[in-house]
């Protein structure tokens, strides 16, 4: 079953003759429960694509269908709620809120939705991610790797069906990167989540089920 | 909640009796009494109305949820309720999520069951050949005119077939242990070097016979919470694999590193490596490298190794360059 699909997706910036084609006719289908990596040089349109998949940006033309729902057909409020309930985003620069403690940061998406925090599950993730003793600290008192893991915990805590990760290992050394990927894999398997991850690291891309290579806004390779 | 309910009832009764008391006993004008009477009955009516209204809404809400649950159960998504800021929408989306998780778990276990059946039929099929061979050569002994040379040859063949049979049975036992959830992990804090010693001892002969140089680099005090017996088996399987695909006079290096969250056991060999296209396949059950058809094996070792490490909350990753060798990393969590 496909949980994510795009059809002839394009995103253009500017006008002729200075037209920039960030995405140029992307058609992909991503199976539920799979772990996909997107690779490509910087400026190739990876992040734009990920933002489109998460409904953070609107395409110039083409459609994005997430879990049977067409994103273009949604209003702004609907889209917000949709993102909150279905999608977990791990940003490259973490985007943790500086004046909330790590714990509050992690449960923020759940509380925004007015749901109860599944404390048992949360304990489990925090344990696995090694953040148990760091929950009451503010993000600026955490190391880069810990902030990264807090961002991962936040994406996982609401148990979204889809996790979109923009270089979740971008600022980590190679060994910690492997650890983070291993964690993501274990968690996703346990809770049947679909992961789409941007990476620059070929070694990490190899560990995923499928790799999509993007150059100049086009898919040049899709390896299973 | 219950206390609030009783307090409200008490308050109502108190007010009501106060009103009655004033109406019947106090000396007030008739007009006041009438107004009081009116107010009290109005209040009662209003209370009753509010109660019935909220009760109705509540039952409606639960009916609605029950109704949608039935829908979801029958696989009809309730699309009109998606992405609304209402309680019903929230509950429906949550229910659908739970349904999809349960459904995929179910189909996963179905798939697994199918795989097991396939595996069993495959192994039993492979067992058939040696058994019928043995039977055939045994029958030859019944013939009165069998020569000594022929008899010796038959015995040799029977021996070979028995070895094959033993190997297949071992594989069957190994995999059945795995499928029947027979892996009972006894996690305890123990030294990695001891586990490594068990694994290395079991394969050192094979390595020696191929003149492969094995080295172990591990600080003796490194401890991790793991099951010694099963982890040793996993490491043994990976070493076995490394020996199998490394040429004579090659090298296998084992190194242990500790990091913040995981302890990594790295097995590097100078074997023939794994093609990028197959790197994800090697951990699959029954996967055999096409070019390795001659080497003995069923394609269970790495699968079993990965399962064992997974069960302990760890993972195995592999890096490899074709023609230069492979590097397997077994990562075990420092605390679980």
User: Quick check: is A26 in a domain?
Assistant: no
Contacts of B329 in chain A (CB under 8 A): 178
User: Quick check: is A201 in a domain?
Assistant: yes
User: Quick check: is A75 in a domain?
Assistant: no
User: Quick check: is B99 in a domain?
Assistant: no
- Would you state the pLDDT for residue A191? 78
User: Quick check: is A180 in a domain?
Assistant: yes
Cβ–Cβ below 8 Å for A209 and B280: yes
DSSP state of B326: E
Q: B172 with B198, same domain?
A: no
User: Quick check: is B88 in a domain?
Assistant: no
Q: B281 with B299, same domain?
A: yes
Q: B197 with B319, same domain?
A: yes
Is some CB atom of chain B closer than 8 A to the CB atom of A176? yes
Question: What's the CATH code of the domain at A214?
Answer: 3.40.50.300
Token pair in block for residue B244: 């199998």
DSSP state of B290: G
User: Quick check: is A72 in a domain?
Assistant: no
Total structural domains in chain A?
1
* Average confidence (pLDDT) over A129-141: 90
Q: B165 with B200, same domain?
A: no
Q: B25 with B124, same domain?
A: no
Is some CB atom of chain B closer than 8 A to the CB atom of A128? yes
**pLDDT at position B296 over 80:** no
Q: B327 with B204, same domain?
A: yes
Q: State the average pLDDT for chain A.
A: 87
Contacts of A128 in chain B (CB under 8 A): 313, 333
Cβ–Cβ below 8 Å for A192 and B84: no
User: Quick check: is B265 in a domain?
Assistant: yes
Cβ–Cβ below 8 Å for B90 and A192: no
Distance of CA A96 to the CA centre of its chain: 15
Cβ–Cβ below 8 Å for B262 and A182: yes
User: Quick check: is B86 in a domain?
Assistant: no
Q: Which of B76, B99, B131 is the last residue of a domain?
A: B76
Q: B220 with B314, same domain?
A: yes
* β strands within B41-111, DSSP E: none
Most B CBs within 10 A among A31, A32, A85, hence the mutation to make, goes to A85
Q: B170 with B237, same domain?
A: no
Q: B24 with B113, same domain?
A: no
pTM (whole model) above 0.90: no
Token pair in block for residue A31: 């199976």
Q: B315 with B197, same domain?
A: yes
User: Quick check: is B83 in a domain?
Assistant: no
> Which range of residues forms the domain containing residue A122?
33-57+81-223
pLDDT, one tens digit per residue, over B106-126 is 888 898 788 778 877 877 888
Contact A42, A79 (CB under 8 A): no
Angstroms from B3 CA to nearest CA on chain A: 23
Q: B140 with B267, same domain?
A: no
User: Quick check: is B91 in a domain?
Assistant: no
Q: Which of B122, B151, B179 is the last residue of a domain?
A: B179
**pLDDT at position B136 over 70:** yes
Cβ–Cβ below 8 Å for A161 and B100: yes
* Average confidence (pLDDT) over B292-297: 61
3-class SS letters over chain A: CEEEEEEEEEEEECCCCCCEEEEEEEEEEEECCCEEEEECCCCCCHHHHHHHHCCCCCCCEEEEEECCEEHHHCCHHHHHHHHHHHEEEECCCCCCCCCCCHHHHHHHHHHHCCCCCCHHHHHHHHHHCCCHHHCCCCHHHCCHHHHHHHHHHHHHHCCCCEEEEECCCCCCCHHHHHHHHHHHHHHHHHHCCEEEEECCCHHHHHCCCEEEEEECCEEEEEEC
CA distance B166 to B161: 9
User: Quick check: is A105 in a domain?
Assistant: yes
- Pairs across A and B, CB distance < 8 A: 75
User: Quick check: is B82 in a domain?
Assistant: no
Cβ–Cβ below 8 Å for A178 and B82: no
* Average confidence (pLDDT) over A84-98: 90
User: Quick check: is B290 in a domain?
Assistant: yes
Cβ–Cβ below 8 Å for A179 and B259: yes
> Which range of residues forms the domain containing residue B123?
108-179
- Top-confidence residue, B291 or B203: B203
- Would you state the pLDDT for residue B291? 65
- Would you state the pLDDT for residue A139? 92
Total structural domains in chain B?
3
Cβ–Cβ below 8 Å for B83 and A79: yes
**b/e string for A134-169 if b means 16 or more Cβ within 10 A?**
bbeebbeebeebbbbbbbbbbbbbbbbbbbbbbbbb
Is some CB atom of chain B closer than 8 A to the CB atom of A31? no
Q: Closest chain B residue to A173 measured between Cα atoms?
A: B259
> How distant, in Å, are the alpha carbons of A57, A91, A199 from that of A11?
9, 21, 21
* Short-list A57, A56, A54, A45, CA closest to A20: A45
Q: Which of A130, A207, A209 sits opposite B261 (nearest CB)?
A: A130
Q: B166 with B237, same domain?
A: no
Pairing state between β B251-258 and B262-269: antiparallel
CA distance B269 to B135: 42
User: Quick check: is A142 in a domain?
Assistant: yes
């Amino acid at each position: 079953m496909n949980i994510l699909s795009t059809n002839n997706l394009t995103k253009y910036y500017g006008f002729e003759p200075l037209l920039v084609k960030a995405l140029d006719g992307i058609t992909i289908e991503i199976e539920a429960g799979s772990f996909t990596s997107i690779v490509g040089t910087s400026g190739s349109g990876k992040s734009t694509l990920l933002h489109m998949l998460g409904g953070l940006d609107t395409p110039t033309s083409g459609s994005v269908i997430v879990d049977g729902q067409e994103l273009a057909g949604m209003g702004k409020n609907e889209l917000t709620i949709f993102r909150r309930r279905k999608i977990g985003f791990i940003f490259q620069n973490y985007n943790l809120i500086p004046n909330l403690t790590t714990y509050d940061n992690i449960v923020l998406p759940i509380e925004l939705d007015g749901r109860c925090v599944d404390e048992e599950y949360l304990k489990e993730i925090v344990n696995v991610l090694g953040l148990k003793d760091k929950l009451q600290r503010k993000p600026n008192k955490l190391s880069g790797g810990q902030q990264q893991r807090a961002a991962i915990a936040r994406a996982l805590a609401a148990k979204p069906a889809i996790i979109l990760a923009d270089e979740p290992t971008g600022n980590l050394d190679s060994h910690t990167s492997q650890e983070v990927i291993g964690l993501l894999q274990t968690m996703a398997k346990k809770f049947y989540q679909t992961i789409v991850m941007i990476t620059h690291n070929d070694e990490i891309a190899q560990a995923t089920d499928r790799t999509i290579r993007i150059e100049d806004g086009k898919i040049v390779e899709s390896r299973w | 909640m219950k206390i609030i309910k009783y307090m409200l009832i008490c308050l109502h009764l108190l007010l009501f009796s106060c009103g009655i008391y004033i109406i019947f006993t106090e000396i007030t004008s008739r007009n006041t009494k009438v107004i009081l009477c009116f107010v009290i009955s109005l209040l009662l009516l209003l209370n009753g109305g509010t109660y019935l209204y909220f009760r109705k809404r509540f039952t409606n809400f639960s009916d609605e949820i029950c109704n949608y649950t039935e829908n979801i159960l029958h696989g009809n998504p309730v699309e009109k309720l998606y992405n609304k800021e209402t309680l019903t929408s929230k509950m429906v989306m949550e229910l659908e999520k739970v349904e999809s998780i349960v459904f995929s778990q179910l189909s996963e276990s179905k798939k697994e069951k199918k795989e097991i059946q396939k595996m069993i039929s495959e192994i039993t099929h492979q067992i058939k050949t040696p058994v019928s061979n043995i039977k055939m050569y045994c029958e030859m002994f019944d013939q009165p005119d069998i020569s000594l040379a022929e008899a010796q040859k038959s015995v040799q063949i029977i021996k070979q077939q028995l070895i094959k049979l033993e190997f297949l049975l071992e594989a069957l036992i190994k995999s059945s242990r795995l499928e029947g959830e027979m892996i009972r992990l006894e996690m305890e804090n123990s030294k990695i070097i001891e586990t490594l010693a068990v694994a290395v001892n079991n394969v050192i002969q094979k390595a020696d016979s191929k003149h492969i140089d094995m080295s172990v680099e591990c600080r003796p005090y490194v401890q991790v919470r793991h099951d010694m017996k099963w982890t040793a088996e996993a490491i043994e399987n990976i070493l076995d694999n490394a020996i199998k695909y490394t040429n004579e006079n090659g090298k296998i290096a084992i190194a242990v590193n500790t990091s913040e969250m995981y302890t990594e056991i790295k097995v590097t060999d100078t074997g023939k490596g794994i093609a990028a296209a197959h790197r994800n396949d090697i951990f699959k059950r029954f996967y055999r490298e096409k070019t390795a058809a001659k080497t003995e094996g069923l394609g269970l070792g790495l699968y079993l190794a990965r399962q064992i490490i997974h069960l302990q909350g760890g993972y195995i990753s592999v890096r490899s360059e074709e023609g230069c060798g492979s590097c397997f990393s077994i990562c075990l969590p420092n605390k679980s």
